[in-house]
Structures are given as C-alpha cells and as structure tokens.
Amino acid sequence: MIKDFIFNDIVLYAKGWYQRSENIVDDLGYLFSKIYGWQPTTEKEVADFMVRVLDKLYEQKEITFKADSNMHCFTGFHNEVNRRMSIYDISYNRAVILLVLSELQQLSVDEIKLKAPHFGKKEHFRMGMLFGEWPKSMTYKEMNKRAQKAFNR
C-alpha cells in the first residue's frame, strides 16, 4: 500500500474531492505549484507533470513496464492516448492528462492511503464531487467534517 504519496492532492482532484473549474490545466497547475513551487501553465507542461505522477505511482506500486500488458508498457500507454484523442477529439497532451487522471481515479483504498483534504477560506478549492457540485451554502466546517468522516474509516 502506498502511504505519504507526494501527489496526494492530484489523486484527490482525480477522485473528485476538489471542485473543478472550467480549466483543468489551471487546476492541476495550481496543485503542482504546491509541490514544486513553480506553476506549469501550458497543457504540455501539465501533461509532462502528469506523466511524472504516473511514473511515481508505478514506482511505488512496484509496477514495471512490460511489453505484454495493456497500460504497463509504452505501446499500451501510447495506444490508449491515441484512442482518447480520436474518441474525444482532443490534443495529445489533453489525452495524457485525462488518461493519468483516470488511472488515479481508479486507485482503491487497498492500494493507496490518502490524506484528507482541508477546506477553508484561504484554500484554493471547495469540496467537489465527480458529478455535480455541493451547494454554495455548505460551510467549510461541514466540508471538513465530511472529509474527515470519509478518510477516518
């Protein structure tokens, strides 16, 4: 099981714990700036960082690229990116971002132990969900209470 994952907030974002804006590149750029102290601003820069996330995930899960597996080889990764490009009519870099987010979203509690998100006036994100959004009237206290309840099983 992965503990203290440096990209904890990226996984939380992928799992819908942070409310997404209209610009996924800005959202992820902000989260990367919290880790690296420098904010990627272009789709290409964010895609490069997302591949780093996937590399670190595979390293900590002790997964190596193999020629005979679907996503655990360069060919499989490349094919999946190209498939998403054609399905969604998006750029290569956008497809990379979405593919890595999809991989992170699928992580189970048996695979990774995440730290609970914290919400507040000075925090960048409000509590999100994968589909829809919470009412604007929800207090930060209530958001944090729900997060703590979910993460302290």
pLDDT digits (tens, 9 = 90+) for 56-115: 998 888 876 655 555 556 777 888 899 999 999 999 999 999 999 999 999 998 999 999
Q: Could you tell me the pTM of the whole model?
A: 0.85
- Is the backbone of residue 132 left (phi > 0), alpha (psi -120 to 50) or beta? left
Residue 32 reports pLDDT greater than 80: yes
Domain ranges across the chain: 2-151
pLDDT at 90: 96
C-alpha span between 45 and 32 (Å, rounded): 10
**CA 97 from centroid of its chain's CA atoms:** 9
Query: What is the sign, positive or negative, of the torsion defined by CA atoms of 20, 26, 29, 31?
Result: negative
Contact 136, 128 (CB under 8 A): no
pLDDT digits (tens, 9 = 90+) for 119-153: 888 888 877 766 667 667 778 898 888 888 888 85
DSSP 117: P
51 pLDDT tier (thresholds 50, 70, 90): very high
- Is the backbone of residue 32 left (phi > 0), alpha (psi -120 to 50) or beta? alpha
**Count of other CB atoms within 10 angstroms of residue 101:** 19
**CA 17 from centroid of its chain's CA atoms:** 10
pLDDT at 147: 87
Residue 28 reports pLDDT greater than 70: yes
Of residues 132 and 39, the one with the higher pLDDT is 39
| CA dist 112 → 88, 104, 122, 144 (Å) | 29, 10, 27, 20
